[in-house]
Amino acid sequence: MIHLVTDSTSDLDAATATRLGITVVPLVVRFGADEFRDGVDLSSDAFYKRLASDPTHPTTSQPSPEEFAAVYRSLLQADGDSIVSIHISSKMSGTLQSANVAAQQVDGERIHLVDSETVTAGLQLLLLAAADDIAAGKPANAVAEAAERRRALSNIFFLLDTLTYLRRGGRIGRATAVVGGLLNVKPVLTLQDGEVAPLSRVRSRSKGIAMIIELLRGQMPLRRMGVFHAGAPEVLDELQAAVAAAFPGVELTQGQVGPVVGTYAGPGGLGVAYTKAE
């Protein structure tokens, strides 16, 4: 049996993870001395509520190799078991490094690691495609190779209310080019080589959504898309309607950025992940 493993920065909801048989290893979020497992002890809604009221900026940490090793051992029960483990970009987190240490301790031959070079809904889309491959009967090495191939066909366009949280968390990457400058300007960002990179600046959320739609048109044909928000459910319907109208027939999922990714994105953000047709 092939087991699919990821981490909580995929922001998969529990029902989807259960339905697809995906094991999610949680990262940790801390508000001062208070420590929470991402998505286990702290929901997304509770996180954004606390983020708005707590003067302490949260911090995050990756799972330990021991935590990954315990998961891997629990899944490799039979001789025919294998694992495909797909994780947040290695340039954003040490999660993949922990997973790699654990894989070598447990069984490096049967555990196939993939650096998604993305996060949140982008990581989700790679997981959904990998689950399809497993259901289609592909062997584990082929599932991992397909995920690595698809990551070049996938990306995220996202609009943040502010760069403050990225800057505080040290995950700003190449987006330093859009720090400062005009007031009331919202950055439109993407990922390049697994780290945050700037695209443009807009003056309103509606203009940001329009720009994201145009950026997506340049990536056609598209196979799957995922719309997401960061503590801003009031904008999700607007975003989803705009994307669905612009790309009828393309499979579309929706969700919320969880506590770990939300620590760096901050509240009020939105975005679209996509995977091109192969």
Render pLDDT for 205-226 as a digit per residue (tens, 0 to 9): 999 999 999 999 999 999 999 9
- pLDDT class of 268 with cuts at 50, 70, 90: very high
Look at residue 164 in the predicted model and tell me its pLDDT: 76
The yes-or-no verdict on residue 182 having pLDDT over 50 is no
123-127, 173-177, 266-270, range with greatest mean pLDDT? 123-127
Peptide bond into 55 cis (omega under 30): no
Residue ranges of the domains in the chain?
2-27+62-151, 154-276
**How confident is the model at residue 184, as a pLDDT?**
65
Asked if residue 183 has pLDDT above 80, the reply is no
pTM passes above 0.85: yes
Looking at residue 175, its pLDDT comes to 46
**Looking at this protein, which amino acid is placed at residue 204?**
S
- Statement: residue 155 has pLDDT above 90: yes
pLDDT computed for residue 162 by the predictor: 78
Q: What is the CATH number of domain 2-27+62-151?
A: 3.40.50.10170
More confident residue, 177 or 211: 211
CATH code of the region 154-276: 3.30.1180.10
Instruction: Please state which of the ranges 79-83, 109-113, 171-175, 263-267 shows the lowest mean pLDDT.
Output: 171-175
For 237-249, the pLDDT digits (tens) are: 999 999 999 999 9
Q: What is the pLDDT confidence band of residue 186, given thresholds at 50, 70 and 90?
A: confident
Is the pLDDT assigned to residue 170 strictly greater than 60?
A: no
pLDDT value at residue 163: 76
Percent residues over pLDDT 90 in the chain: 84
